[in-house]
């Protein structure tokens, strides 16, 4: 009989541990906190919006200030230079845009003939010789107006009848009255013109002041925030602040990259189309895209109008519209979800939802601040257990480990998607490693549910059937060649080492001539479930691995080794039996089953007991001697490799 040793093959997956449920926070408390925060954000928006804008600008300007300070400038000069450069850039950009608008307005009379020709072509296409849409609509409006005048004639609602001396009745018509307001004074005109600008200018001034002081007192504000938030846990607080700063900085950088990648094609496309000043429109598109949703529309409006005015035909305007539509589709559906999600840790759905929420609370400014503020909320959710739902809802990290997703698909009776999860996680790894790292942990979750009564026998059977379907789906899985050698290679190595002779690896010795004459058949191995359907699912996985290695492996239910069924167990040509247990505490049960099999088969057939107890665990103390088996295993891939190295690799037929 081949010698077995108790070995523990460790997979690389993390162990699955079932932790006791924590007492949840009261739903009423959570709802109260959310309502309070939302109300504070809404009613305090006049103060909070400038502060949030200043924080966002300080994130963008702080690296430049730090660089200037490293070059030897002091704190105050560095801040002043950066703020002045920002102010000059804003003023210069505004002046450039305003001058271009004025230039466009002055040149519009030069394009009057083109505009008139396009309008006439549109009218000609819609009128169609007098019976077009415009003529029909105009005629309908004229007819309705006549009908209304005819119906109002007899009523004479405002007329007053008055008798005269000759017996005739005079109808007094109402006298129209016009109210003329005095010409407004210059001061009134100034107030009317500047009144709507007071609030934005005041907000901009507040933002500028906040930015200056935040840049000057950056380290002091950081220390105060740490003291306020969590001085008792400096590590977690520092980690949260660093993570938030890094994510927001990456977001601003990625937004700059996307905007530049958008503006350059705009300028090039408009240049080849023939729209005047293409560089200006490319710069305008780059800058205005920092304002989500509204900015791209404004940046596309001016080039489209200009192409409509300067082009004698319709080709250039249509090409301009197509250029912006194509770039928007590419940017919104490919670049932005991909780069923003990976750089900020937000899911694409979270970015859209955040924009809706923040624009509801803070209006157009909320759209600009939506992503940075949501990033901060996600970071808070990562480090504050009570607010973990924020990270789960808006983050892009997988909220369920792959083994939990696999188990959930089995519970949902969807083995096809479960098999897809295994294939996606393959990464050209051996199938046995995949089973150890993904499928066995999922079965451990099911076993934990079974032990606490969360799933019944029907659900256990459904999980086992799902595993069988997954195995059938993965039957043609192309795996990475394993380093383990087969029986012939093991024999060759043993011969080279001088520890064996050629032919020792065969169960029945035969000469090369007789071996060639007598065909070989795969060795028959029984993989038997220990106690339930989940154990049978694990035995199905092992049988699949052994079949791929050339053995004739069969998976049997636990009822096959019951006392009443054991005499009917087909053990003809069985060279090895492997018992499968997901519960590592099933030592006594395994001992009883091994004794039954010894009585039925004798001592000539080796028996292996698989206690699939997960990664990083060894068989229980003295389990091998207590069970009385020929070997103990803890991983599927290790068991398959061990069996391949034994002398039962193949048996001669006959």
Is residue 427 over pLDDT 90?
A: no
DSSP 8-state assignment for residue 553: E
DSSP strand pairing (574-581 vs 524-529): parallel
Q: Which residue has the higher pLDDT, 143 or 369?
A: 369
Q: Which residue has the higher pLDDT, 27 or 10?
A: 27
> Domain ranges in the chain?
41-113+197-222, 238-394, 411-652
For residue 15, count other CB atoms closer than 10 A to its CB: 12
Residue 231 pLDDT class (50, 70, 90 cuts): low
Q: How far apart are CA 546 and CA 534, in angstroms?
A: 19
Q: Which residues are CB-neighbours of 337 under 8 A, at least 6 positions away?
A: 348, 351
Is residue 481 over pLDDT 70?
A: no
Q: Per-residue DSSP letters for 333-377?
A: IIIHHHHHHHHHSB-HHHHHHHHHHHHHHHTHHHHHHHHHHHHHH
Q: 101-110, 131-140, 401-410: which has the minimum mean pLDDT?
A: 131-140
411-652, superfamily in CATH? Cobalamin-binding domain (3.40.50.280)
Q: State pLDDT tens for residues 499-510.
A: 444 444 333 333
Q: State pLDDT tens for residues 519-547.
A: 456 788 999 998 899 999 999 999 999 99
Rounded mean pLDDT, 480-487: 45
Q: What integer pLDDT is reported at residue 105 of this predicted model?
A: 72
Is residue 15 over pLDDT 50?
A: no
Q: What three-state secondary structure class fits 546? A: helix
Q: State pLDDT tens for residues 301-312.
A: 888 888 887 877
């Amino acid at each position: 009989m081949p010698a077995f040793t108790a070995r523990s093959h460790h997979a690389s997956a993390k162990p699955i541990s079932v932790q006791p449920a924590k007492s949840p926070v009261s739903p009423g408390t959570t709802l109260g906190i959310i309502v309070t925060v939302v109300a504070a954000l809404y009613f305090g928006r006049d103060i909070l919006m400038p502060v949030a804008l200043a924080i966002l600008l300080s994130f963008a300007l702080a690296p430049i200030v730090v660089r200037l300070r490293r070059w030897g400038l002091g704190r105050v000069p560095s801040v002043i230079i950066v703020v002045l450069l920002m102010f000059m850039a804003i003023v210069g950009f505004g002046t450039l845009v305003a001058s271009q608008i004025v230039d466009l307005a002055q040149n519009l009379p030069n394009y009057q003939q083109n505009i008139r020709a396009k309008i006439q072509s549109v009218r000609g296409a819609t009128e169609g010789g007098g019976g077009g849409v415009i003529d029909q609509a105009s005629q309908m409006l004229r007819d309705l107006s006549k009908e209304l005048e005819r119906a109002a004639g007899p009523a004479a609602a405002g007329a007053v009848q008055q008798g005269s001396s000759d017996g005739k009745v005079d109808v007094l018509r109402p006298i129209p009255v016009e109210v003329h307001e005095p010409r407004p004074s210059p001061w009134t005109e100034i107030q009317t013109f500047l009144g709507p600008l007071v609030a934005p200018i005041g907000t901009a001034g507040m933002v500028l002041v906040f930015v200056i002081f935040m840049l000057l007192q950056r380290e002091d504000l950081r220390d105060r925030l740490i003291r306020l938030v969590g001085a008792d846990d400096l590590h977690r607080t520092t980690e949260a602040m660093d993570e938030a700063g890094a994510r927001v900085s990456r977001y601003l950088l990625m937004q700059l990259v996307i905007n530049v990648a958008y503006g350059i094609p705009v300028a090039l496309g408009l240049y080849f189309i023939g729209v005047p000043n293409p560089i200006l429109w490319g710069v305008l598109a780059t800058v205005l895209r920092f304002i989500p949703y509204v900015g791209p529309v404004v940046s596309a409006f001016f080039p489209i109008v200009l192409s409509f005015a300067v082009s004698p035909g319709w080709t250039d305007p249509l090409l301009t519209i197509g250029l912006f539509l194509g770039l928007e589709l590419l940017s919104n559906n490919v670049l932005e979800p991909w780069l923003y999600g990976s750089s900020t840790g937000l899911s694409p759905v979270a970015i859209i939802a955040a924009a809706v929420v923040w624009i509801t609370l803070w209006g157009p400014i909320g759209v600009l601040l939506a992503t940075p503020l949501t990033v901060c909320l996600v970071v808070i959710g990562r480090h504050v257990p009570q607010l973990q739902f924020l990270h789960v809802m808006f983050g892009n990290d997988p909220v369920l480990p792959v083994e939990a997703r696999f188990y959930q698909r089995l519970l949902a009776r969807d083995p096809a998607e479960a098999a897809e999860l295994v294939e996606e996680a393959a990464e050209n790894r051996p199938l046995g490693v995949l089973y150890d790292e993904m499928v066995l942990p999922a079965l451990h979750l099911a076993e934990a549910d079974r032990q606490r009564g969360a799933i019944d026998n029907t659900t256990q059977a459904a999980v086992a059937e799902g595993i069988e379907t997954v195995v059938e789906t993965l039957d043609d899985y192309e795996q990475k060649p394993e380093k383990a050698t087969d029986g012939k290679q093991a024999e060759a190595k043993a011969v080279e080492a001088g520890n064996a002779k050629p032919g020792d690896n065969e169960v029945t010795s035969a000469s090369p001539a007789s071996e060639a004459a007598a065909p070989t058949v795969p060795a028959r191995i029984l993989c038997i479930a220990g106690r339930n359907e989940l154990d049978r699912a694990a035995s199905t996985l092992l049988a699949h691995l052994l079949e791929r290695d050339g053995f004739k492996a069969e998976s049997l239910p636990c009822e096959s080794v019951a006392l009443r069924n054991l005499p009917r167990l087909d053990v003809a040509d069985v060279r090895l039996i492997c018992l499968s247990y997901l519960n590592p505490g099933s030592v006594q049960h395994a001992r009883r089953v091994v004794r039954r099999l010894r009585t039925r088969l004798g001592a000539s057939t080796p028996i292996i007991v698989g206690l699939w107890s997960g990664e990083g665990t060894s068989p229980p103390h003295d389990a091998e001697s207590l069970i009385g088996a020929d070997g103990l295993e803890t991983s599927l891939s290790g068991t398959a490799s061990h069996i391949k190295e034994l002398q039962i690799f193949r048996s001669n037929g006959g």
